[in-house]
Amino acid sequence: MAVTVFARYPGLSPQLYDEVVATLDLDASPPIGAILHLVGEAQDGLQVTEIWRTEQAFQAFQDRFLQALQFRGYLALPTVEVGALHNLFAVEMETIERMGAVSLPATYAGAAL
C-alpha cells in the first residue's frame, strides 16, 4: 500500500541537503519504491513530503539518507509521520514539466531549473 511521509529535519540547511542528495546519485540509482519527493524550507530547517510504494521502501531509503547526513555531521533526528496514501491529485502536471522540475543531482550535472 502506498504511503505518505511527512518529515521535519530541524537545523538542516538547504546547502547540506543539496550536498547529501548529490552524493546519493539518485538520478542514476533512484530509491526503489519512491514515487514523489518534495522539500521545502521551514522556519527551523527543512520539511520533506514524500510518497512511497510501501513503508518498507521508505524505511530502507531513510536509513541510507540518515547515514549520509550523519557522515556530514548532521546528528539531529527528524520527526517523521507515515500514513496510508488517500489521494494524489496533480492538476497541472504540464506546468510542473514546463518549470523544468528536475532532481537536484541533474541540476548539479548542468541542467537548469
Asked whether residue 101 is assigned to any structural domain, the reply reads: no
pLDDT digit string (tens) for 92-101? Answer: 767 766 765 5
Asked whether residue 79 is assigned to any structural domain, the reply reads: yes
Q: How far is CA 5 from CA 73, 95, 110, 111, in A?
A: 24, 24, 29, 27
Cα–Cα distance measured from residue 42 to residue 8, given in angstroms and rounded to the nearest whole number: 8
Cell of 34: 519512491
What's the pTM?
Answer: 0.81
Asked whether residue 12 is assigned to any structural domain, the reply reads: yes
pLDDT digit string (tens) for 16-74? Answer: 999 999 999 887 888 999 999 999 999 999 999 999 999 999 999 999 999 999 999 99
Total tally of structural domains belonging to the chain: 1
Cα–Cα distance measured from residue 112 to residue 46, given in angstroms and rounded to the nearest whole number: 22
Q: For the domain that residue 63 is a member of, what is the CATH number?
A: 3.30.70.100
